[in-house]
Structure 1
Amino acid sequence: MANRSVESFLTFRRPFSVGKEISSQPAGAYKLVIEEELIEGLSFLAYRRLSTVLEIPAMGIGTAVRQFIDVAPTDLDVALEKDAALVSDEETIHELYSRDSMMARARDFQNSVPD
């Protein structure tokens, strides 16, 4: 069967962990390699995932030692969703407490108070 490797990079903006396989890692860009095999006998191209491997540590962190850890795709999805939620919460908090936002709310409040 024909196999293929698909490489991509994931960016975590906050420290993260993935399932039980990967303990807390620093924020950064991580190389992800997905190995797939061609499903033969179909009238169209289709691939079956064989493995999902995350390279530790993040790209750009100077170290001669690298680990390639097989991770469950669902655990990886959960880690990415948590990271996105944390970033979204931080952006919301920043927006709520930014100077311009606070000034706009103060103006709205002043305009809503009857004379």
Structure 2
Amino acid sequence: MNMRSTRSTVTFSNSFTLPGCPSDLPAGDYDVLVEEELLQGLSFEAYRRTATYLTVRGEGSHAGRTEIRAISDRDLKEALRRDATTHETNNHSEAALSPQEDLK
């Protein structure tokens, strides 16, 4: 069985939750690892996703610790969609549009 792995980075602008995670995850960049297997017997090359993992870096007393959590592609896409919606809502609020005070 031929396998391939691809790594990408996703960015969350706000804290977010994923099913199976006991607490909110902080905003920031997260590495995503996708594993796929080659489908045999086709006249063209095609792969099927077999697993998706999110790399979570520890904070506070867990700093320096990294976990790789199995997640579903659907849950990741939904978390990114919620984050984009929240980010857009925050950018259109009156507070976001008000001018910054000059701190002299």
Fold equivalence (TM over 0.5): yes
How large is the RMSD of aligned CA atoms in angstroms? 2.1
Aligned to 1:65: 65
Change (3 A) 1:22 1:31: farther
Give the structure with higher Rg (CA): 1
Q: How many angstroms does 1:89 deviate by?
A: 0.3
Change (3 A) 1:84 1:2: same
**Alignment pair present for 1:15 and 2:15:** yes
Cα displacement string for residues 56-102 of structure 1 (whole angstroms, at most 9, x for unaligned residues): 127xxx93211000001111111000000000001111588435xxx
Question: Identity, % of aligned pairs?
Answer: 34
Change (3 A) 1:32 1:94: farther
**Alignment pair present for 1:88 and 2:68:** no
When normalised by structure 1's length, the TM-score is: 0.75
Deviation >3 Å, runs of 4+: 94-99
Aligned to 1:48: 48
Unaligned 5+ segments in structure 1 are: 100-115
Q: Write the distance in 2 (CA, Å) between the matches of 1:41 and 1:4.
A: 17
**Alignment pair present for 1:2 and 2:6:** no
When normalised by structure 2's length, the TM-score is: 0.82
**Alignment pair present for 1:39 and 2:63:** no
Q: Which amino acid is 1:6 matched to?
A: T
Q: Write the distance in 2 (CA, Å) between the matches of 1:12 and 1:29.
A: 6
SS of the residue corresponding to residue 64 of structure 2 reads: coil
